[in-house]
Structure formats: C-alpha cells, structure tokens
C-alpha cells in the first residue's frame, strides 16, 4: 500500500502500527491524535483467510464513522474524533488494551462450541459479556476477569485493575444495547458484537479501534438466513469473485442503512410556570432536559387566575406532532399541575419551586381529587430525568443518554471510593 503524506488537513507522521485491515499513523502537530487508514482487505480466521476487496476500505471507514458518530452523540467516551477522508478517520491516540470485548444477545457461533448443550438462539438478558485475549497465533483465547486483572496491564500510566475491567465490561454492554436499539429501527437484530478499548495520552479509557460490518452479527428481521455481516465471508469454503461481490453488496447496504439510525423523534417537554417569578427554577429544569437532548419550551400560565388560557395553551401544545410531557411549576397552592393532569392525556410532572413553606405547599401537588393523575418531584434534575425517561421510550438516543449518565455515576463513585481509601 503506497504511503500518503497528508489526509485532508492533516500531515501524516510515522507509521505507528499496521494490522490486518488498517494502518495507524502519527499526526504532525497533533501528538494526542492519530490517523487510521483502512485497507481494501477482508480477513477471517485470525488472518488465515484473506482477500483483496476493492472499495472495502471506504465502506468500512464510512460504516465506522457513522457508528462512532452515534456513540459520541449519546455521550459514550470514544476515541473517534472525525472523518478525515473516504477511507480514513482521526482518532485519539491510544495504547490499546489487547482484549476483545464481546457482547451477545443470542447464542450462536463459537459460544455454542464452548458451551455444549446450549441451543442456538438462546436469549441472554442481560446480554452475555465475554473477553478474549488478542493473540492471533493462539486463536484469541477466552480470558476471565481474573486473568485480565492478573496481567497487570499498564497503559499511559493507568493500571488495568478490577474497577477498570468493570467499567469496560459495563461500557461494552451499553455500546451493544445502544446499537441494538439503533438497528431495531431498521428491523435488524444485532446478535452479537465485539469492541476494543484504548487508553488515551491522558489515561482515559475510551472505546477505540473500529466498529464496522466486521464487528457484529446482524440479521435483518432477526432471520439468520438473511445475515449481512462478515459471517457470510467466514462461512465461504472457496471464495469466488461473485461471493466477494455479495459480501461487498451486504456491507454497502449496512453502511447506507446507518443513515437512518439517528432519527429526529418529534417530542416536546413544556415547562409550565404559574408565574414568571419561577423562571430561575424553570431554567434549571430546561438546562437538565437539554443535557439529555430534549426539546424544551417554557410557558407562563396560571390555572387559578387564567384558567381558560391554561386550557388553551394545553390544547395548543397537544396538537403538535410527537410525544408531549408537561412539567408544572407553581408555588404555594399548585392548581396548575392538577388542572393540567385532569385535562391532558400526556404525563404531567409537578416540580414546585423551592420555598420555606414547601412542607405544607407540597400537599396541593400530592393530594389530588379522584380522577386526576400527575406525579411530583422537588428537584429540577429529577423533573428532567422523569421527562427523559418518558421521551426515551420512543427515542433510543434519549434512552441511551440516560444509560450513559447512570454509567457515569458508577464511574464517579468508583473513583471517589479509590480516593477515599487513600486520602480520607
Ligand atoms: N485509536 C488508536 N490508537 C492507536 N492504535 C489503534 C487505535 N485504534 C486501533 N489501533 C490499533 O491499530 C492496529 C491496526 O488495526 P487492525 O488492522 O484491525 O489490527 P489487527 O489485525 O491486529 O486487529 C491494531 O493494533 C489496533 O489495536
Ligand atoms: Mg482489528
């Protein structure tokens, strides 16, 4: 493969490493980044089977860039920075953890050989997570958590211990669940997949390497016979040009389907305040909502003093397209939430503003007439989380951001626990 000197605006430095399917280059002026250039090469069986496949580099690279764009959009920590050309992308430069992190929803392939008696199609919930040491010569042996910890890997100053393994395991499952939901939008079942992690120059664990049609089993309509992933190539005993054409057509189809996996799901969270004096509290709610990618609108309406207007605003919001969640913010006696709850068919969440008389005022939100339903929280973040949980039922990207936030809480707690043991 000839060696380019520039890709897009980037000047290439030295070749860091070359593997079976790509080359990794240093970048002049960007010591923390690198360029990954794909090759027109398809391989299987730890590289024993290998063919040139014209156009494969671009298809793989474009697939990878779209997948990582989804992961970055929902807040998963990845090494992917940007697309650089048809067959190259810029990544954070990582010391790579030599482990393949596999997640399975259905039992198939090598799992069946290693777990005799389990029928093909056995469904795992939560998804089954397995780890394999990257070692082509020994056919990537399966490794336990204890083996990974005992290897005492150290990359860019970070030792891979129990906490690090746990975070990578949880992230692996999350990446699978996010992409499983994404693919379900095209009625495709993600059966299993593998990812790799790297440690960047600042010691952060990131999802790295690539995710493309080589990384997963993907069955349209959940039907194994319709598979569109690299298994088609693995299964070939002799490989003809027309076989390679089928593989390429499948990979191209997958790349093109990815354009539909970041849909705009119409929805609105309307923060209804009884008085403009509640503005600050409402802006906090809106800020938290936007962190989950929610569309938010702030409105002022008083159910006590402007009852007709309140119902008119409600009807206006209800005729818009998509899911609607109302967050009612009213101090003292909360007429607003219960009136909305009594007249709306969408969820209504009360989030009264902070006040010294909160312990008495809260009863106007809690003790509702029969036939009226609305829920009550007192913190702006809790109101936003509840709204995101509702919208996330239809919008997998919102759902994913909630899951990422939950994982970040675990990461923060683990870090605090380590620091407490040293400093407290
Ligand atoms: N962000 C990154 N920084 C540094 N190296 C990377 C990064 N992403 C992937 N790599 C490494 O690039 C090399 C080439 O990839 P590939 O051709 O898939 O190799 P292999 O055949 O070993 O799987 C691998 O060693 C992989 O770990
Ligand atoms: Mg590889």
Mean local confidence (pLDDT), 54-70: 98
pLDDT at 253 over 60: yes
Average pLDDT value over all residues in the chain: 97
Cβ partners under 8 Å of residue 424, min gap 6: none
Ligand 1: atom nearest CA of 206 is: 1
Domains, in order of start, for the chain: 6-54+75-91 (3.30.200.20), 94-260 (3.30.470.20), 267-394 (3.40.50.1970)
3-state secondary structure of 194: strand
pLDDT at 71 over 70: yes
d(CA 314, CA 383): 19
pLDDT digits (tens, 9 = 90+) for 170-217: 999 999 999 999 999 999 999 999 999 999 999 999 999 999 999 999
pTM greater than the 0.85 cutoff: yes
Ligand 1: atom nearest CA of 39 is: 17
Task: Give the number of the ligand closest to the Cα of residue 96.
Answer: 1
Task: Give the number of the ligand closest to the Cα of residue 94.
Answer: 1
pLDDT at 283 over 70: yes
Mean local confidence (pLDDT), 37-63: 95
Q: Give me the phi and psi of 266, to 5 degrees please.
A: -65, 130
DSSP label at 229? S
Mean local confidence (pLDDT), 235-252: 96
Task: Give the number of the ligand closest to the Cα of residue 89.
Answer: 1
Q: Are strands 6-7 and 10-18 parallel, antiparallel or unpaired?
A: antiparallel
DSSP bridge partners of 100: 132
pLDDT digits (tens, 9 = 90+) for 184-194: 999 999 999 99
400 closest CA partner among 160, 84, 107, 70: 70
Assess whether the previous peptide bond of 126 is cis (omega < 30° from 0).
yes
As for ligand 1, residues whose beta carbon falls within 6 Å of it are 17, 19-22, 24, 34, 36, 79, 91-94, 96, 198, 208-209
Mean local confidence (pLDDT), 141-153: 98
The pLDDT of residue 1 is: 55
Q: How many other CB atoms are there within 10 angstroms of residue 333's CB atom?
A: 16
pLDDT at 255 over 90: yes
Q: Are strands 296-300 and 267-273 parallel, antiparallel or unpaired?
A: parallel
C-beta separation of 366 from 376 below 8 A: yes
State which of 36, 64, 138 you would mutate to test the pocket of ligand 1, scoring each by most atoms of that ligand within 8 A of its C-beta.
Answer: 36
pLDDT at 354 over 80: yes
Ligand 1: atom nearest CA of 98 is: 27
C-beta separation of 413 from 166 below 8 A: no
The pLDDT of residue 3 is: 77
DSSP label at 161? -
Ligand 1: atom nearest CA of 17 is: 13
42 closest CA partner among 194, 253, 239: 239
d(CA 42, CA 190): 21
pLDDT at 292 over 90: yes
The pLDDT of residue 2 is: 66
342 closest CA partner among 400, 303, 382, 378: 303
State which of 22, 27, 33, 41 you would mutate to test the pocket of ligand 1, scoring each by most atoms of that ligand within 8 A of its C-beta.
Answer: 22
101 closest CA partner among 203, 174, 187: 174
100 closest CA partner among 227, 207, 201: 207
State which of 18, 61, 96 you would mutate to test the pocket of ligand 1, scoring each by most atoms of that ligand within 8 A of its C-beta.
Answer: 96
The pLDDT of residue 4 is: 83
The interaxial angle of helices 56-73 and 162-184, nearest 10 deg, is: 110
> Which residue has a Cα nearest atom 7 of ligand 1?
209
The DSSP H or E segment spanning 256 is helix 241-257
3-state secondary structure of 26: strand
């Amino acid at each position: 493969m000839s060696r380019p000197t520039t890709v897009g605006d980037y000047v290439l430095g030295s070749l860091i490493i070359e593997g079976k399917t790509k080359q990794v280059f240093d970048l002049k002026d960007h010591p923390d980044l690198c360029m990954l250039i794909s090759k027109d090469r398809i391989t299987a069986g730890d590289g024993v089977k290998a063919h040139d496949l014209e156009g494969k580099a671009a298809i793989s690279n474009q697939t990878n860039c779209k997948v990582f764009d989804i992961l970055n959009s929902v807040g998963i920590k990845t090494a992917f920075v940007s697309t650089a050309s048809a067959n190259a992308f810029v990544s954070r430069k990582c010391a790579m953890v030599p482990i393949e992190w596999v997640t399975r929803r259905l039992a198939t392939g090598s799992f069946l050989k290693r777990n005799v008696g389990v029928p093909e199609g056995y469904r795992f919930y939560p998804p089954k997570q397995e780890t394999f040491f990257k070692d082509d010569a020994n056919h990537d042996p399966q490794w336990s958590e204890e083996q990974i910890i005992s290897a005492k890997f150290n990359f860019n100053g970070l030792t891979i211990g129990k906490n690090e393994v746990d975070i990578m395991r949880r992230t692996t499952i999350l990446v699978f669940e996010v992409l499983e939901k994404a693919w379900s939008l095209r009625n495709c079942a993600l059966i299993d997949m593998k990812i790799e992690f790297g440690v960047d120059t600042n010691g952060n664990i990131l999802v790295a390497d690539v995710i493309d049609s080589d990384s997963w089993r993907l069955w349209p309509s959940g039907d194994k016979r319709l598979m569109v992933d690299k298994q088609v190539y693995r299964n070939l005993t002799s490989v003809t040009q027309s076989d390679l054409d089928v593989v390429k057509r499948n990979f191209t189809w997958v790349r093109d389907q990815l354009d539909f996996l970041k849909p705009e799901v119409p929805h609105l969270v309307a923060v209804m305040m009884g008085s403009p004096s509640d503005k600050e509290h409402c802006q906090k709610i809106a800020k938290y909502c936007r962190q989950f990618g929610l569309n938010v609108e702030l409105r002022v309406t008083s159910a006590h003093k402007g009852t007709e207007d309140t119902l008119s605003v409600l009807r206006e919001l209800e005729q818009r397209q998509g899911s609607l969640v109302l967050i009612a913010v009213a101090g003292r006696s909360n007429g607003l939430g219960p009136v909305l709850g009594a007249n709306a068919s969408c969820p209504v969440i009360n989030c009264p503003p902070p006040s010294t008389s909160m312990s008495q005022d809260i009863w106007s939100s809690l003790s509702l007439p029969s036939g009226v339903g609305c829920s009550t929280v007192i913190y702006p973040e809790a109101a936003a989380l509840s709204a995101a949980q509702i919208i996330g039922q239809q919008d997998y990207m919102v759902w994913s951001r909630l899951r990422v936030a939950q994982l970040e809480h675990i990461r923060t707690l683990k870090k605090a626990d380590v620091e407490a043991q040293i400093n407290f």
